[in-house]
Amino acid sequence: MAADSGPSVLVAMTTEADLERAEALATALVEQGLAACVALEPQRAIYRWQGRLERSEEVRLTIKGDPGRLAELEAEVRRLHSYATPEWIHWIASAGGAYGAWVAEACGPGQRD
């Protein structure tokens, strides 16, 4: 018997320069109802930027939200982000029934502070 794939949930990732900026961005997204939850994880990144090898400490934000609000979420992340070129990676995932329902409710109308 095939397993029920459950409701769809948007998962998006970005990074911020430090915990203070990451928390401010996460809080704004949840308060606006664009994200049900944002997980913050410190990380060390090595990357090439403007022709130079860079190393930095930053914070990864894993954002869970409603797939129907992807464009709004991306626009708000870009508007509030401290980087000129923020990381923006997203996909649609299947969630367990109760979790998917909670995400949909948390990002639904009337959930904004």
- The pLDDT > 90 percentage for the chain reads 86
Give the pair of three-digit tokens for residue 53.
Answer: 């090898």
pLDDT tens digit sequence for 30-83: 999 999 999 999 999 999 989 999 999 999 999 999 999 999 999 999 999 999
The pLDDT, as a whole number, for residue 2 is 47
Q: Is the pLDDT confidence value at 4 over 70? A: no
C-alpha span between 28 and 7 (Å, rounded):
25
Q: Is the pLDDT confidence value at 18 over 90? A: yes
The pLDDT, as a whole number, for residue 108 is 85
CA angle in degrees (0–180, nearest 5) for 50-21-93: 85
Domains plus CATH for the chain?
8-106 (3.30.70.120)
C-alpha span between 45 and 113 (Å, rounded):
34
* Cβ-based neighbour number of residue 77 at 10 Å: 23
